[in-house]
A and B are shown apart, each in its own frame.
Chain A
Amino acid sequence: MKLKAKFADMGSVEAAVLALKSDGVTPEQIELFSSRPVEIKHGVLARPSRLSLFAVVGAVLNGSLATAFMYYTQLDYPLVTGGMPLTSGWATGVITFELTMAGAVAGTVIALLREGRFFRQSKDAPEQMQEDTVYLVVERAESAAQRTQEIVQQNGGRIVADWGARP
């Protein structure tokens, strides 16, 4: 079952999340929604991110592809270079660098879309979010429902049956 609650401030949300975690709830079972950045203390709701990895992989991949493309084209149709090396690292380095950076940008955006779950939308997100309100959704087994409800209420949460989720 899913339990929904509204909070009036971030401090109460943090306290509720910590209490839920000590009761065995994992970060994967918790979801928060707010119209403003959810700035929760470091470590309270740890969500491991692979965004940096995606950026690095994108950079390496695109940079390698760019270098391979340049070498292929230059060797396949050798230009007259007046004795200069046909595939010079110095001369092609600029393009390698630029396309490496473009790869990092692409990797970052892909990671953002993936980790932000832009294409796997939550059905519990409120359709209209009120100002100064943080919405919390906890997914738990039916047997722990009563205890979860108590934890949330003890930490300032107001249990809501339905807040008009997105269709």
Chain B
Amino acid sequence: MTTLAHAAGRSHELIREDLLRPLRSTSPLYWATLCVCLLVILWAGFAWYVQLTEGIGVAGIRRPVYWGFYIVNFVFWIGISHAGTLISAILRLTDAGWRKPVTRAAEAITVFALMIGGLFPIIHLGRAWLFYWLIPYPNERLLWPNFRSPLLWDMTAIFGYVTGSVLYLYLPLIPDLAQAAAHTGGWRAKLYRILSLGWQGSDRQWHALELAMKSMAVVILAVAVSVHSVVAFDFSMAIAPMWHSTIFAPYFVAGAIFSGIAALILAMASIRRFLHLEDYLRPMHFDNLAKLLLLMSIVWLYFTAVEHLTVWYGNEHLEIAVLNHRVAGPHAPYFWGMVVCNFVIPFILLGIRRLRTIRTAVICGVTVLIGMWLERFLIVVGTLSNPPLPAAWGDYAPSWVELSITAGTFAGMVFLYLVFVKLFPIIEIWEYEREAEG
């Protein structure tokens, strides 16, 4: 084993030392970023406090646009959550060898994005303290759950996905936690020992873990697809122009995978640079993810073209009003900006092999995230701006409260991720060691 490990370029001790290093020491830049994120989160918390005390009226949502930034962010973050579990599950089931340094970084995105995304329906409620009314239980106040409501579908789906994703992140972490417990001291060692559930490294445990991860991958794949389908149902089950569409569920799932890959590329590039893990997250990993991003960009363009062509050809006046608003009306800059961000830039930068580098993959990751956020905005706000009666048409502008809370969620994502990489090895040590052997 030693010979093989050394032949792969790194000894096991070196691998472990490298991957546990961020747990012991981090740069001043790490702490500075953490503090900035915390400040933005506190500001967002203040904005939410203002909304809770003053009422939902401080947000920019007004008739006819009663779903604004909060629902846009909800759909966006649930989409981002597909980065991890779904991509990791596909790579695990296809036994893609290059997945090993990628999976945990991806699975962590899923858990944090779901936590953030799941907050938005509660923020959108206005009276957030009544969130438990969403929980389906028979009660004394005759608020019996209506299982036909897509809102209840959402809650059930997201709850299942969060539970599954946390476990999917946690299970392969157990052997690494046992290693970390043996190589750290103080409170960390105690924490890791508790979390490793007394892992002993017996063949029974390894065998059961491998089987469990395969089984979980199959289940989580189905759940991930269903979750974003259910989010799409929030729109497509309504008889509203450009929402009531049979392709909305696959369109949303494809978009979610697309934005998820973009987020993963950004996370990996940051980890590589700031934690100095260049030897582990190699150009090959970015190249493979960039190819996936390019593929999803083409799939996204196909879905977008089909959706818009069908509406245009049908020439149904309510739908045409929304289409015109989106393509040639007030939302046209957002629409064409979305096309440039989601297709034109990735197609040029990633389609030409010579241009496909880590830097261009990161650029495309940023543009795709902007483009996908714009897509969610266009879907949510576009239809609501154009209700059937033209006299009721109106537009939407977010207030400082919505903008602050939105900024807070992005800072929250970075904050949670930074805390995670400080507490847990972001690359699977045992998987990487196995790759080094193989």
Contacts and interface: CB of A to CB of B under 8 A. Distances in A.
- Is the contact region of chain B dominated by helix, strand, or loop, or is it mixed? helix
A88 B212 contact: no
A129 interface: yes
A45 to B, nearest CB: 7
A109 B145 CA distance: 29
A55 B200 contact: no
**Residue of A32, A40, A52, A108 contacting most chain B CB atoms (<10 Å):** A108
B201 A91 contact: no
A9 B198 CA distance: 25
Interface string B67-89: 00000000000000000000000
A34 B434 CA distance: 12
A154 interface: no
B8 to A, nearest CB: 13
Contact of A109 (B157, B167, B175, B201): B167
A129 B226 contact: no
Given A49-B207, A105-B219, A73 B138 contact: yes
Nearest to A94: B153
A132 B4 CA distance: 10
Given A97-B226, A98-B157, A131-B12, A70 B202 contact: no
Interface string B21-49: 00000000000000000000000000000
**Residue of A40, A45, A101, A132 contacting most chain B CB atoms (<10 Å):** A101
A41 interface: no
A116 B312 CA distance: 58
Contacts of B198: 118, 121
A108 B216 contact: yes
Contacts of B201: 33-35, 125, 129
A88 B167 contact: no
Contact of B157 (A39, A40, A94): A94
B13 interface: yes
Interface residues of B, number: 56
**Residue of B136, B160, B171, B434 contacting most chain A CB atoms (<10 Å):** B160
Contact of A102 (B12, B163, B179, B206): B163
A8 interface: yes
A36 B434 contact: yes
Contacts of B207: 38, 47, 49, 115
Contacts of A132: 1-2, 5, 12
**Residue of B152, B163, B199, B219 contacting most chain A CB atoms (<10 Å):** B219
A122 interface: yes
A78 to B, nearest CB: 9
Contacts of B197: 113, 118
13 contacts: A9-B1, A35-B175, A36-B12, A39-B434, A73-B144, A74-B147, A95-B152, A97-B226, A102-B164, A108-B215, A109-B212, A112-B171, A128-B182
